[in-house]
Chains A and B, each alone.
Chain A
């Protein structure tokens, strides 16, 4: 029952999001018809193209038209290049999705050990050091971290490319390598946030009765933590991780600019500078749809991992 309701909420959110994107985009100044035809075009030509593109219809009609196509995977055509947007978005996702996933992996690899370490050394020097590190990580803009990593690893040490993307087909490892620094820049900031949550989640579980039981059975603190604490601590952290994925995705928009990666974020920015309305609309909608989908998945897995939530 919960699943049905939750999926219903997801669909309503998706619909609201699409309306929101549409409304924001419709206040965008600049007439797409004029963008296509250029400034030399006669008013008559612009008017007839507006008619052809359906721009002279009322906004709700335009929206419903867009929606009926969007549900079939057709996001329209770019007014700038004339290409279909759907395949273009899919293409761009081949860079942005791996980038986000890689960043997520690094985030987990960095934040879980740090957070657990800090919790295990609660109120000791190690805890304080981790807290200072995470405080610093929170203050750094991801794109600046990117610039610094480029300076160090691409310019000075020449270990990694400073930017660009060879393409998965041409060079798989080259592509992987091209995503490494951008993913790391995103992960630095993200892990600063997640480390705090891991730490407090672990501290929380250490207070539980079952840990005391385990200790009274003769397990040491760290044994009790490894055997019983971590799995329980992972549940709330997973939720946060899922929700932080939204921040991660918007981070890719900026980081793709630093590393000249032709991902979804670049597409969005190019669309904005060229006033390519359908492109921006499609791109933004796909990003938000992804975020809503991930929130849905997180909420549903939460129930699977922690049966107590469903029982309540």
Chain B
């Protein structure tokens, strides 16, 4: 089975300035998202979970509700603000799970060529064949719906991706002279991996992490949209879209704003990833014709 690592040598976004612009744009977008998440811990225009039957479906700007209210009279802007906490939280935890488990597995496979490697990679191949969202759906169903299980499920689903990328990048490093030197020194494989190999593949992994972060946010949104992710009353963008679905014919506004929040955050991470790739690995700047 062939490996799909997102194409890393020839991404659109060519000149150095263009990439720097990507990086700055990504960073700016994410600063806004993170600032919003932090702000929403202390202040939101209205209580995001307060149901007020006297003012359902207010349109934008009515009674001080900047983005209006949903069918339960909850303030949409406040919900989206608090939703950013959920999105970032899920991203951080899912990616952490994936790298904490995936990196050692990938490193182990790269360090021990032969049968061990074959077995590890074959298993990872099979998990890899499960689309992450499908695997997450099964895992969430197996435990119970909620933000916590969604994020663990997403993290587990991404372990094979991290393991593959780690192994792929480590293989050539393990062949290098300084690794042979360390080995002749009597260092063990584990030590060599963490001390000598890992620092050399860090740039690849960091880029991979930004990609996974945005994938995790999209996955959480999808799970919550299906009703098996974040449960009410905890605000989540995907959940808001689920609630909006019934009223989408009447008030598309309810679906537009949470969707834009998702798209903007994901865009931010993707742009940041492209920029980081360039900053950490100038060698990739070979895309000239």
Contacts and interface: CB of A to CB of B under 8 A. Distances in A.
B and A form one assembly: yes
Interface of A: 9, 12-13, 16-17, 20-21, 24-25, 27-29, 118, 122-123, 127-128, 130-131, 134-136, 138-141, 143-144, 147-148, 150-151, 155, 162, 196-197, 199-200, 203-204, 206-207, 239-240, 243-244, 246-247, 249-251, 253-254, 257-258, 268-269, 272, 280, 284, 287-288, 291-292, 295, 298-299, 302
Given A13-B129, A196-B7, A196-B12, A144 B241 contact: yes
B32 interface: no
Interface in B92-131: 122-123, 125-127, 129-131
Say what secondary structure dominates the interface of chain A.
Answer: helix
Nearest to B128: A246
Given A20-B127, A141-B259, A147-B244, A25 B267 contact: no
Across the A-B interface, the 7 shortest Cβ-Cβ residue pairs = A250-B131, A131-B12, A139-B267, A144-B259, A200-B10, A272-B141, A139-B266
Contacts of A257: 225-226
A258 B130 CA distance: 22
A127 B10 CA distance: 13
Please report whether the interface of chain B is mostly helix, strand, loop or mixed according to DSSP: helix
Given A272-B228, A295-B1, A17 B263 contact: no
A207 B289 CA distance: 7
A9 B142 contact: no
Contacts, number: 169
Interface string B222-247: 10011010000000001001001100
19 contacts: A13-B1, A13-B122, A29-B144, A123-B289, A127-B14, A135-B267, A135-B270, A139-B263, A141-B259, A144-B262, A147-B241, A151-B248, A162-B249, A200-B7, A203-B10, A239-B2, A243-B4, A269-B137, A295-B1
B56 interface: no
Contact of B13 (A28, A131, A249): A131
Name the residue in A9, A135, A302 with the highest tally of chain B Cβ atoms < 10 Å from its Cβ.
A135
Contact of A295 (B129, B214, B238): B129
Given A28-B141, A253-B226, 19 more contacts: A9-B122, A17-B129, A21-B138, A123-B15, A131-B12, A138-B267, A139-B262, A139-B264, A141-B259, A147-B245, A203-B287, A254-B225, A272-B137, A280-B141, A284-B138, A288-B129, A291-B129, A295-B129, A299-B2
B218 interface: yes
Contacts of B15: 123
Contact of A141 (B12, B221, B289): B221
A251 B225 CA distance: 13
A218 B56 CA distance: 69
B255 interface: yes
A268 B12 contact: no
B202 interface: no
A76 B4 CA distance: 35
B131 A246 contact: yes
A54 B206 CA distance: 48
B271 interface: yes
A24 B226 contact: no
B30 interface: no
B253 to A, nearest CB: 10
B139 interface: yes
Interface footprint category on B: 35 or more
A203 B15 CA distance: 15
B226 A269 contact: yes
A259 B221 CA distance: 17
A172 to B, nearest CB: 27
B45 interface: no
| Residue of A134, A284, A298 most packed against chain B (CB within 10 A) | A284
A203 B12 CA distance: 11
B14 A250 contact: no
Contacts of A199: 10, 12
A134 B12 CA distance: 9
Given A206-B289, A254-B222, A28 B142 contact: yes
Contacts of B214: 139
B259 A147 contact: yes
B245 A258 contact: yes
B77 interface: no
Contacts of B218: 141
Contacts of B252: 148, 151, 155
Contact of A17 (B18, B130, B131, B132): B130
A45 to B, nearest CB: 26
A16 B126 CA distance: 7
A120 to B, nearest CB: 11
Q: Determine which residue in A20, A239, A240 has the highest number of CB atoms from chain B within 10 A of its CB, and name it.
A: A20
B60 interface: no
B289 A155 contact: no
Nearest to B250: A155
Contacts of A254: 133, 222, 225-226
B122 A16 contact: yes
A139 B131 contact: no
Given A143-B222, A295-B1, A13 B125 contact: yes
A172 B77 CA distance: 43
A20 to B, nearest CB: 6
A162 B259 CA distance: 19
B164 to A, nearest CB: 12
